[in-house]
């Protein structure tokens, strides 16, 4: 019986939520199509992830153990996944749409002559056809794209599906991986982290995002204080990463990161469609903006019309007192 293979993104002992979302959705598709569900985890120590993964119901977990996977390089990931694909002949390979998945999917699909459907908001498998909806044209519209290829690869935007447990008994299959790092033509020299970039924004449960209304360093401080009170990751609109108020790594939107937290604060963000494409999957959206007609209010669960320089200090204080119980 063929299977749906889910590539698992995991770092520092934690499986990414976005991978569990994909695994949960693929469990449903596998069941509908009479296919097995498998997961592949590539790591220096993959066994630390199998317990978490087995709670989401895969039939088999492929583990590939090699220290080279700590090096953020695409070549070993492509090589290892390619071996699993060649040996086990999956019907579909699904990824969470992380930066590392985006980097390998083109090469991997070319190597296996697979249909590739990247960065989808939703997808289905019905027998011979995989159909997906993808935001295109600067996220103004959804494109319906399908593939009849016998092997299809899909990467899924974070927050598109819920991660739901369904415990089962997963078989763990260790896959031998003989990799010669000496032959590599790409070498990781260094990983640079900025203060706001320690957490993966795409995985954060609470995000405070800043826009043009933040104006200056005083505004930045107010955002940092609110994020600190909430234990939130900080994000930013393109306007304030371009102006240099926030590092480019924090940009949320169609050209930046896609986030899907439980709680999202849009502070001084007007809500251009390109930004909304990066946060519309958030569960609860709070918008704070002085312009009552700002488009962001169309997406906000709760919208506050007012001066953020007056609202934020009060909000930070009240949240601290609620958190303190």
Partner 1 sequence: MKISVCIKQVPDVSAPITIKDGTLSQDSDRMVLDAYSASAVEEALVLTGAHGGEVEVVLVGPDKAKETIRKALAMGAASGVHIHVEDMSGLDSAAFAEILAAWHKQSSYDAVLTGKQSQDTDAGLTGGMLAWKLDLPYCANAVGLTYEGGKFLVKRQGDTGQEMVELESPCLVTCSNDMNDPRIPSLKGIMQSKKKPVKTVTLDDLGLSLDGVKGGVVKTEGKGFKDVPGREPGKKFEGDPAELVSQLVNLLDNEAKVL
Residues 79-118, interacting with partner 1 (CB under 8 A)? 98-100, 102-111, 113-118
Q: Among 197, 212, 215, 220, which residue sits at the site for partner 1 (rule: CB under 8 A)?
A: 197
Q: Could you give the C-alpha distances from 91 to 30, 125, 139, 153, 154, in angstroms and in order?
A: 10, 10, 29, 9, 11
Q: Among 11, 31, 52, 124, which residue sits at the site for partner 1 (rule: CB under 8 A)?
A: 11
Q: Could you give the C-alpha distances from 211 to 16, 236, 269, in angstroms and in order?
A: 27, 6, 4
Is residue 138 a contact residue for partner 1 (CB under 8 A)?
Answer: yes
Is the CB of 29 or the CB of 236 nearer to partner 1?
A: 236
Site for partner 1 in 162-191 (CB under 8 A): 184-191
Site for partner 1 in 42-81 (CB under 8 A): 72-75
Please state the separation of Cα 214 from the chain's center in Å: 26
Task: Give dist(CA 173, CA 64) in Å, integer.
Answer: 9
Closest CB 170 distance from partner 1, rounded Å: 25
Per CB under 8 A, the segment of 39-47, 56-64, 160-168, 313-321 that binds partner 1 is 313-321
Angle among Cα 278, 281, 286 to the nearest 5 degrees reads 85
Asked if residues 91 and 2 have their Cβ atoms less than 8 Å apart, the reply is yes
Is the CB of 172 or the CB of 206 nearer to partner 1?
A: 206
Contacts of range 127-130, beta carbons closer than 8 Å, 24 or more positions apart? 127/33, 130/92, 130/154
Site for partner 1 in 258-297 (CB under 8 A): 262-263, 277, 280, 283-286, 292, 297
Is residue 140 a contact residue for partner 1 (CB under 8 A)?
Answer: yes
């Amino acid at each position: 019986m063929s299977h749906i293979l889910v590539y698992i993104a995991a770092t520092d002992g934690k499986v990414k939520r976005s991978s569990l979302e994909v695994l949960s959705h693929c469990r449903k598709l596998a069941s509908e199509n009479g296919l097995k569900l498998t997961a592949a985890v590539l790591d220096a120590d993959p066994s630390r992830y199998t317990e978490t993964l087995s709670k989401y119901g895969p039939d088999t977990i492929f583990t590939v153990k090699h220290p080279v996977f700590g090096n953020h390089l695409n070549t070993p990931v492509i090589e290892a996944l390619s071996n699993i694909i060649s040996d086990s002949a999956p019907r579909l390979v699904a990824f969470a749409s992380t930066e590392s998945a985006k980097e390998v999917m083109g090469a991997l699909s070319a190597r296996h002559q697979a249909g590739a459907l990247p960065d989808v908001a939703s997808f289905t498998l019905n027998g011979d056809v995989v159909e997906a909806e993808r935001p295109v044209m600067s996220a103004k519209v959804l494109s319906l794209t399908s593939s009849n290829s016998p092997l299809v690869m899909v990467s899924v935007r974070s927050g598109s599906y819920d991660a739901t447990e369904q415990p089962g008994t997963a078989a763990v299959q260790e896959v031998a991986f003989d990799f010669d790092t000496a032959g590599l033509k790409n070498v990781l020299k260094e990983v640079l982290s900025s203060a706001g970039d320690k957490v993966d924004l795409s995985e954060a449960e609470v995000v405070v995002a800043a826009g043009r209304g933040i104006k200056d360093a005083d505004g930045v401080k107010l955002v940092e204080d609110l994020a600190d009170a909430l234990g939130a990751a900080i994000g930013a609109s393109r306007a304030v990463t371009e102006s240099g108020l926030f590092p480019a790594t924090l940009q949320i939107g169609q050209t930046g990161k896609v986030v899907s937290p439980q709680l999202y604060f849009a502070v001084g963000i007007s809500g251009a469609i390109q930004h909304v494409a990066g946060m519309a999957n958030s569960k609860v959206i709070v918008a704070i903006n002085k312009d009552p007609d700002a488009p962001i209010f169309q997406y906000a669960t709760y919208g506050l019309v007012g001066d953020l320089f007056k609202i934020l200090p009060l909000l930070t204080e009240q949240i601290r007192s609620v958190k303190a119980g």
